[in-house]
């Protein structure tokens, strides 16, 4: 790590000192763009805590101004946690927090919920964020290691949706787009070039994240690198039914369960002696279409729930302010 990176890390970690203790913390978004020189851009944090109710109770004593005033007076930490869990997808966001001359947004999630989403894709919300480059500041429970299965699954899902030949940039763009499939914000409140900008702006970070998995898939003859140009590879993949079944088997259990409900299941005896159910696959196209449909529905439900939760918890003024910024970017990308 260079001295400049150490300074940046210390700067980002400094914010955690004004909050109650957390188990996990990472920064994501445009802050990680190597060429980002915009000091006014919002810094986005994900904070994992063991008990959100207790954490918000303590944070309200330390940083009451981070929360919408109506929530502080009406229900406090209990209401904040209930809205996140019952209406949203388990994450409470505090946007437009000013600290050290920077604008911040931080999302607070229960560690159990974060781990479940990373491993199972049951909500495909924070798991989608962690498929893109993030800067981990604190990781007491080794979420980074657990996230390996999330990254592997992202590669598998993306390969199912890609043709026989594609570029390395195409692969990262497909991975990046998974969490936007069905996202209601993409209809009117997101930059239509968002995926392209994320991948091109953080290409080397994507490469370092996914290199071990691509090398593993190459060893298993599922893909091969056909040529390289300016450090960007062209890739060919095996699209036969056997490889398709292998890719589906590497998807999280929740995804496979839903695909099995639509396509049917077949039982087999695993090497361990257990009876396992595999998704019945008759063609690659059918499997890809089914997976995409399941993923789109999951993202749509989560994005809708989180949008309602966010509107309630940030207060009307902040919600309109945040949406206005998003829509301005979206409008600019369409002109």
Write the pLDDT tens digit of every residue in 253-299.
889 999 999 999 988 877 777 877 889 999 999 999 999 999 999 99
- The angle subtended at Cα 90 by Cα 187 and Cα 48, nearest 5°, is 110
Residues in the chain predicted with pLDDT less than 70, given as ranges, are 1-5, 7, 32-40, 185-191, 228-231, 315-335
Write the pLDDT tens digit of every residue in 233-260.
899 999 999 999 999 999 998 899 999 9
**Gap between the Cα atoms of 54 and 50, Å rounded:** 9
Other CB atoms within 10 A of residue 35 CB: 7
Which residues does residue 110 pair with via DSSP β-bridges, in sequence order?
Answer: 49
Beta-strand runs (E) in the chain = 24-28, 43-49, 91-99, 102-110, 134-139, 165-167, 223-229, 232-237, 265-269, 275-279
Sign of the dihedral through C-alpha 55, 60, 64, 70: positive
Torsion angle in degrees (nearest 10) through CA of 204, 4, 141, 172? -10
Sheet holding 232-237, edge to edge: 165-167, 232-237, 223-229
Q: Which of 258, 330, 269, 328 is nearest to 299 (CA)?
A: 258
pTM: 0.89
**Gap between the Cα atoms of 201 and 34, Å rounded:** 7
**pLDDT computed for residue 333 by the predictor:** 44
**Gap between the Cα atoms of 41 and 29, Å rounded:** 10
**Gap between the Cα atoms of 115 and 68, Å rounded:** 28
Sign of the dihedral through C-alpha 112, 118, 119, 121: positive
**pLDDT computed for residue 99 by the predictor:** 94
Which residues does residue 133 pair with via DSSP β-bridges, in sequence order?
Answer: none
**Gap between the Cα atoms of 231 and 47, Å rounded:** 34
């Amino acid at each position: 790590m260079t001295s400049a990176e150490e300074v940046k890390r210390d700067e980002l970690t400094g914010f955690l000192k004004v909050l109650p203790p957390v188990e996990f913390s990472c920064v994501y978004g445009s802050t990680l763009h190597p060429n980002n020189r915009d000091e006014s851009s919002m810094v986005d944090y994900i904070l994992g805590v063991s008990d959100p109710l207790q954490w918000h109770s303590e944070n309200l004593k330390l940083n009451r101004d981070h929360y919408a005033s109506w929530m502080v007076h009406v229900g406090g930490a209990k209401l904040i946690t209930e809205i996140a869990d019952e209406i949203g997808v388990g994450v409470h966001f505090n946007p437009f927090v000013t600290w050290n001359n920077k604008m911040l947004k931080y999302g607070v999630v229960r560690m159990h919920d974060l781990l479940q989403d990373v491993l199972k894709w049951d909500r495909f919300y924070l798991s989608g964020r962690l498929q893109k480059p993030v800067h981990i500041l604190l990781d007491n429970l080794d979420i980074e290691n657990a996230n390996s299965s999330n990254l592997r699954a992202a590669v598998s899902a993306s390969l199912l949706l890609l043709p026989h030949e594609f570029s390395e940039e195409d692969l990262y763009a497909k991975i990046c787009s998974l969490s936007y499939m069905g996202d209601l914000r993409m209809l009117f409140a997101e930059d239509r070039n968002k995926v392209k900008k994320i991948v091109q702006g953080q290409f080397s970070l994507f490469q370092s994240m996914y290199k071990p998995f691509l090398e593993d898939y190459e060893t298993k003859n599922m893909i091969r690198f056909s040529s390289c140009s300016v450090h960007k590879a062209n890739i060919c993949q095996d699209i036969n039914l056997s490889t398709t079944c292998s890719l589906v088997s590497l998807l999280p259990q929740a995804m496979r369960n839903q695909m099995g409900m639509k396509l049917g299941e077949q039982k087999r005896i695993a090497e361990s002696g257990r009876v396992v159910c595999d998704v019945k696959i008759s063609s690659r196209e059918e499997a890809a279409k089914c997976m995409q449909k399941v993923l789109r529905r999951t993202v749509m439900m989560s994005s809708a729930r989180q949008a309602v939760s966010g509107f309630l918890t940030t207060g009307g003024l902040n919600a309109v302010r945040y949406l206005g910024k998003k829509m301005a970017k979206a409008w600019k990308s369409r002109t």
